């Protein structure tokens, strides 16, 4: 099992939580980004830096993630590719993407994109809070425990 992190827009607090989890549980995490990502030296942590192409990170994670892995991303189209492969996908705010909510999430995302392309200014995401940090930590712990039990590790 690996944790795949879409690291370009991932909050620092989430990266810290993931790094601690890898040490505590002995799980490998791969941080994939278009920019340099600072990570501590650890055999359980990898960083992949790709070209500036905005889709390169998504394509890399989609190609390499496997069933039983966990991915952390805000990217709804990436989540829609990973879920059918058996990858557990969560946002940095601890929300799970599932087969049950993916259709609705894609519809809302596409609607908002159409509105923005028509020239409407939409509000950005709310600031990342301590509550978001705690929700992510709880969700990560719960999903890693479930995946570890399922794999028999």
Domain ranges of the chain: 2-151
* Residue 54 binned pLDDT confidence (cut-offs 50, 70, 90): confident
Is pTM beyond 0.75 here?
yes
Q: Does CATH number 3.40.50 belong to domain 2-151?
A: yes
Terminal Cα-to-Cα distance of the chain (whole angstroms):
9
**pLDDT tens-digit series, residues 6-39:** 998 899 999 999 999 999 999 999 999 999 999 9
Q: SS3 for the chain, per residue?
A: CEEEEECCCCCHHHHHHHHHHHHHHCCEEEEEECCCCCCCCCCCEEEEECCCCCCHHHHHHHHHCCCCCEEECCCHHHHHHHHHHCCEEECCCCCEECHHHHHHHHHHHHHHHHHHHCCCCCCCCCCCCHHHHHHHHHHHHHHHHHHHHHHCC
Mean residue pLDDT of the chain comes to 90
% pLDDT > 70, the chain: 92
């Amino acid at each position: 099992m690996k944790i795949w992190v879409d690291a370009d827009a991932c909050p620092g607090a989430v990266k810290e939580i993931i790094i601690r989890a890898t040490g505590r549980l002995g799980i490998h995490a791969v941080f994939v980004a278009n920019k340099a990502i600072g990570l501590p030296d650890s055999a359980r942590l990898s960083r992949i830096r790709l070209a500036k192409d905005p889709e390169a990170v998504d394509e890399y994670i989609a190609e390499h993630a496997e069933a039983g892995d966990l991915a952390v991303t805000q990217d709804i189209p990436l989540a829609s590719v990973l879920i059918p492969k058996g990858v557990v996908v969560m946002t940095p705010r601890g929300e799970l993407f599932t087969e049950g909510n993916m259709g609705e999430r894609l519809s809302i995302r596409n609607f908002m994109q159409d509105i923005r392309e028509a020239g409407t200014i939409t509000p950005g995401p709310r600031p990342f809070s301590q509550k978001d940090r705690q929700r992510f930590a709880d969700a990560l712990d719960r999903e890693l425990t479930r995946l570890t039990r399922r794999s028999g590790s």
